Amino acid sequence: MNNPDNDIRIKVVTDYVSEQSEPDSDRYVFAYTITIANKGVKAAKLMTRHWLITDANGKVQEVTGDGVVGEQPHLNPGESFRYSSGAVIATPVGAMQGSYQMITDNGDHFSAAISPFTLAVPGVLQ
């Protein structure tokens, strides 16, 4: 499964957006910034995304679509792409995970996994 030719590394930084959240209405807004880095030896283009967003009640939102933030970035070896987006969940703690479906310049399709990461209001998790 791990092909060193197709080595996409994904780093995530999350932030709670208090000014858009309404805890009394079970609305918790989180921003996340993702850096996608091509550490492989082949250029690749991000075609689609697949997210699973889970709140503390076990409710799962599935999100799929073309590209990210309206773009389908093409990454040569050594290049990276950074973008920010957001998620809204009904609990102060949740998690996200997913994958990007990629294609190399020679037509090989592969999936770049996004490891689970936590969404949490500051101070909720100790």
Residue 84 has pLDDT above 90, yes or no: yes
Looking at the DSSP bridge assignments, the partners of residue 46 are 102
Task: Convert the pLDDT of each residue in 54-82 to its tens digit.
Answer: 999 999 999 999 999 999 999 999 999 99
Q: Give CA–CA dist 75/16, Å, rounded.
A: 29
Residue 123's Cβ-count burial label (10 Å; 0-12, 13-18, 19+) is: exposed
CB distance 17 to 32 below 8 Å? no
Domains, in order of start, for the chain: 8-115 (2.60.40.1470)
State the average pLDDT for the chain: 94
What band does 124 get if pLDDT is binned at 50, 70 and 90? confident
38-55: pLDDT as tens digits: 999 999 999 999 999 999
pTM of the model: 0.91
Band the pLDDT of 1: cuts 50, 70, 90: very low
